[in-house]
Amino acid sequence: MAFVRVADESELTVDSRKIVIVSGQEYALFNVSGTVYCIDNACPHAGGPLGEGHVDSGAVSCPWHCWYFDIKTGEGLYGLGIGVGSYPCKVEDGAILIDI
């Protein structure tokens, strides 16, 4: 699939996050020190919203049971080590696009 526009750049300020929906699927966007990353929003444990989790040192912890994941790669860093999908991002003409 090609890059699709999911938000305005102004909606994702530095060190913020946003949940977006594309074709019924939720994705979590993170702006980490000015770079945009995208991973699946649903935690593989029980579906917790990773886009609402606590972010620290490039990782996000699930707000439900605290499994945590590398925001850049989706790698699982706790729990069973199960990761989530991560997707290329780019910013063009004031818009955030993700390649899903």
Residue 62's CB: how many other CB atoms inside 10 A?
24
By CB under 6 A, is residue 62 in contact with ligand FES? yes
Contact pick of 6, 36, 48, 87 for ligand FES (by CB under 6 A)? 48
67 near ligand FES, rule: CB under 6 A: yes
Q: Write out the binding residues for ligand FES, residues 2-41 only, by CB under 6 A.
A: none
User: Residue 78, exposed/middle/buried by CB under 10 A (0-12, 13-18, 19+)?
Assistant: middle
Q: Which residues of the shown chain bind ligand FES in the complex (CB under 6 A)?
A: 43, 45-48, 62, 64-65, 67
